[in-house]
Amino acid sequence: MIYSIRLTITHLYNQPAANSRHLIRVLPKTIANRQHLTTHLLQVFPEPDARSETVDFFETTSMACAHTDFHAEMSIRLACHVEVFPPAPWLDLSPDVEQLCREWQASCDLSARSPVHFLGPSPRLQPDPAITGFARDLFDPSQSTAANVIRLGQALHDLMTFDATATHVDTEAPEAFALRRGVCQDFSHIMILALQALGIPAAYVSGYLRTLPPEGGIKLEGVDAMHAWVRAWCGEDHGWIEYDPTNATLIGSDHVVVGYGRDYSDVSPVRGHLRSSGGQKNTQAVDVAIVG
């Protein structure tokens, strides 16, 4: 299946800003046997005075750009094609959580794929008693790790209401959990904290979701902007699985990965710094369509 993805992010500054620098992480990854970025065009307006591309520790491609002169608006436009392959048939090879903890404790691996980076706490996520309690209540030690991940994700989805007005990009997970409302970022942050409370390494995934459901399917939540979901480690044999708590589903071919991180801060689409006296207004528009 080939997707055509179009993204526009616009920052409007109340006061013109100068000397700004941004890191932009919006480009889909190429992952063997899963997704392949075939063509892409990433533009920034106004034209940056300098731009360079780097791949960060978690292997996300990020574009750094700098603007020297005053500008009142910055927009980022991405157009790309990504080929997504259907997932392999599901087979649960994961151990129980106790065994899982022994596995990561013995890990001597510091590569980006290693579970040891995703134990928490992380820059945005500190353990929260309410979320820990929620996780412990649901936890079934007799079942496999993967079964627990799905069980927890489903329960979180049932408990929470998708509400794009209840929270904002800086809302902390415990606050969203207390509200029982939020968007994909909040769902994912809460699920990460819940999994980590049980000793299951969990990561944040940033990416895209197809806009229109397949015929007969239901429209998914979170299609108006970039999406986020969770990646959970299920042992040396099973590796990582991905789960979308906002839509209570394991990841199939509707999701396109941009990057993995410990939380939103590691993979935020635009991380920026500028000298400006005023605030700013950000908008985002996404379209993910099937072209073949």
Partner 1 sequence: MPDPHSQPHDPWQSDLLRGYAAQVAAGAAHNDEMLARDGTVKPVWTSFVDHLAKLSSDELASRFTRGDQYLRDAGVLYRQYDESLSTEREWPLSHIPVVLGEDEWQKITEGLIERAELLEYVLRDFYGDNTLVRSGQLPATLLSQNPAWLRPMLGVGASDANLLNTLSFEIGRGPDGKWWVISDLIEAPSTAGFAIENRIAMTRVFPNFFSGANIHRLAGYFKVFQQTLFELKGRAEGEIALLSPGPMNQNYAEHAYMARYLGLLLVEGEDLIVQDGTAMVRTVAGTKPISLLWTRLPSAMFDPLELNPASMLGTPGLVQALRDGRLKTVNMVGAGVLETRALMAFLPKIARARLGRGLAMPNIATWWCGQDIQRDHVVENRERMMVGDAFSTRPLMADPSTTYLNSDANGLSAEELAAMLQRDGRNIVGQEAVTLSTSPAFENGELVPRPMCIRISMGRTEDGWAVMPGGYARVSAGADAKALAMQQGGKVADVWVTSPHKVQTPSLLSQETHAITRSSTHALLPSRAADNLFWLGRYVERSEQNMRLFRAYYARISDGADHADTVPAYMRAQLMENVAPRAGAIAKRFAAPLALGLQSASRISDRFSPDGMMALRALVKQVQLLDRRPVAVDDIPVEISSLLRQITGFAGLVHENMYRSDGWRFLSLGLSLERAANMCAVLAACTDDAAPAGALDLALEVGDSVVAHRTRFLVWANTASVVDLLGLDPQNPRSVRYHISRAKDHIAHLPRQETGHILTQAARLVMTLETRLSTRRAEEVTPEFFLQIRKDIWDISDALNEYYLV
Interacting residue ranges for partner 1, rule: CB under 8 A: 19, 21-23, 49-50, 52, 54, 56-58, 64, 66, 68, 105, 107-110, 114, 116-117, 119, 123, 265, 271-273
Dist CA 202 CA 191 (whole Å): 8
User: Nearer Cβ to partner 1, position 79 or 119?
Assistant: 119
Q: C-beta of 203: minimal distance to partner 1 in Å?
A: 12
**What is the chain's length?**
292
Dist CA 124 CA 116 (whole Å): 17
Q: C-beta of 44: minimal distance to partner 1 in Å?
A: 15
Place of tokens 């731009």: 51
Tell which residue, 61, 21, 5, has the closest CA to residue 209: 5
User: Nearer Cβ to partner 1, position 116 or 138?
Assistant: 116
User: Nearer Cβ to partner 1, position 117 or 238?
Assistant: 117
User: Nearer Cβ to partner 1, position 67 or 181?
Assistant: 67
Q: C-beta of 117: minimal distance to partner 1 in Å?
A: 5
Q: C-beta of 21: minimal distance to partner 1 in Å?
A: 4
Q: C-beta of 84: minimal distance to partner 1 in Å?
A: 28
Answer whether 267's CB lies under 8 Å from 184's CB. Answer: no
Q: C-beta of 57: minimal distance to partner 1 in Å?
A: 4
Please state at what angle helix 145-159 crosses helix 184-198, rounded to 10 degrees: 140
Dist CA 207 CA 34 (whole Å): 14
**Is 168 buried (19+), middle (13-18) or exposed (0-12) by CB count in 10 A?**
exposed
Evaluate the omega torsion of the peptide bond into residue 86 and state whether it is cis, within 30 degrees of 0. no
